[in-house]
Amino acid sequence: MDSTLILRNVYQQRNFVAMTHNAVRKVLDMKLSRRIDKDSRIRRLRPIYPKTNDVTTEIQQKCSSSF
């Protein structure tokens, strides 16, 4: 009788640990996905262009070589 009670107690504790672990993982995943969404939104709003200096020098070089 005692052994079954002990086993049941151990299983309940393990289930509790597993439940809290899963809950924590869900929260962390939500936070991570929210952060990724924010990053992608910022990237969408602010596209990365090449530096203007590089472009102007490239255009000048092409113009000078064509003449």
0.95 cut: is pTM over it?
no
**Could you give the count of Cα atoms lying within 13 Å of 37 in the half-sphere of its Cβ?**
6
Q: How confident is the model at residue 44 (pLDDT cuts 50, 70, 90)?
A: low
Question: What's CA 28's distance to the chain center, in Å?
Answer: 10
- Report which of 48, 51, 52 is spatially closest to residue 40, judged by C-alpha positions: 48
Q: What average pLDDT does the structure give for the chain?
A: 72
- Find the domain containing 20 and state its range: 2-66
Instruction: Count how many domains the chain has.
Output: 1
Residue in the block written with tokens 């929210």: 34
What pLDDT score was predicted for residue 18? 83
Using the predicted structure, report yes or no on whether residue 25 has a pLDDT greater than 80: yes
Q: How far is CA 60 from CA 49, 51, 56, in A?
A: 19, 15, 6
